[in-house]
């Protein structure tokens, strides 16, 4: 598989970028995909999660992940290095930073945009979509913290062509897993949250033409 780079981007803070990056990385690693994470967000939430994970990795048999924390200036060089060893590279980009977000989008193969199902979030997302369009990068938007039965969520699914059919519910399981340095597919593999992550993970693997073997599905 030729290495693919996914940038999780959203100009609006609090949309769930880091949550999505961490849980997706773990789900892909469980499928046998070689995954690396790149944290260029100065807040460093993904780095903190990974530090916790490393402490428990051997004892609990957690799926291995490549990881780099760096500034946006160093990102291109670090990503080029990671492409030699990994299949999928996920960049967690900072909010409210046009230059670094633009750099991360420019050097990716897909922009993943988490957003909550509200008009305010939709309007705020336009800045990220504009950058992706200017850089000619494909976009996949994912509704986060939603009630799947809510009429607004359903309306947005119909109207937004780039919107994933996968939804992230407003579930405590996501946060609980992160506190333990895990993905929800490790901490609560039979939960609704794990199923949501797996659906999105498989959708994106299909986007890149990556075939998941039956034995990988059985062990995920």
Render pLDDT for 35-50 as a digit per residue (tens, 0 to 9).
999 999 999 999 999 9
Burial 111-120 (b: 16+ CB within 10 A, else e): bbbbbbbeee
Domain that holds residue 92: 4-200
Is 206 within the bounds of a domain? no
Could you give the CA distance from residue 183 to residue 193 in angstroms, rounded to a whole number?
10
123-133: pLDDT as tens digits: 888 889 899 99
CATH code, domain carrying 122:
3.40.50.300
Which of 5-9, 34-38, 63-67, 71-75 is predicted least confidently?
Answer: 71-75
Let me know: does 66 contact 60? Beta carbons within 8 Å: no
90-106: pLDDT as tens digits: 999 988 767 888 999 99
**How many structural domains is the chain composed of?**
1
Percent of the chain at pLDDT > 90 equals: 60
90: left (phi over 0), alpha (psi -120 to 50) or beta: beta
Is 213 within the bounds of a domain? no
134-146: pLDDT as tens digits: 999 999 989 888 7
> At 42, is the secondary structure helix, strand, or coil?
coil
Is 218 within the bounds of a domain? no
Is 26 within the bounds of a domain? yes
Predicted confidence (pLDDT) at residue 25 exceeds the cutoff of 60:
yes
User: In the prediction, which pLDDT does 218 show?
Assistant: 43
> Strand runs (DSSP E) across the chain, as ranges?
4-8, 35-39, 66-69, 88-92, 110-115, 139-146, 163-169
Query: Mean pLDDT over residues 200-216, rounded?
Result: 80
């Amino acid at each position: 598989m030729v290495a693919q780079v996914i940038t999780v981007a959203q100009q609006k803070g609090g949309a769930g970028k880091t949550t999505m990056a961490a849980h997706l990385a773990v789900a892909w690693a469980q499928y046998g995909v070689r995954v690396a994470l790149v944290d260029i967000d100065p807040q460093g939430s993904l780095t903190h999660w990974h530090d916790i994970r490393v402490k428990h990795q051997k004892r609990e048999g957690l799926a291995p992940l490549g990881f780099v924390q760096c500034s946006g200036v160093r990102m291109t060089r670090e990503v080029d290095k990671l492409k030699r060893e990994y299949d999928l590279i996920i960049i967690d980009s900072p909010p409210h930073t046009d230059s670094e977000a633009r750099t991360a989008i420019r050097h990716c193969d897909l922009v993943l945009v988490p957003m909550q199902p509200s008009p305010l979030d939709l309007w705020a997302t336009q800045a990220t979509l504009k950058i992706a369009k200017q850089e000619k990068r494909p976009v996949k938007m994912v509704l986060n913290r939603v009630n799947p039965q809510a009429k607004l969520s359903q309306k947005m699914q119909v109207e937004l062509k780039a919107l994933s059919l996968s939804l992230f519910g407003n579930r405590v399981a996501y946060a609980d897993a992160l506190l333990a340095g895990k993905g929800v597919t490790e901490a609560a593999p039979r939960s609704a949250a794990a199923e949501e992550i797996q659906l999105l993970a498989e959708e994106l693997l299909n986007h890149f033409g990556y075939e998941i073997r039956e034995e990988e599905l059985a062990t995920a």
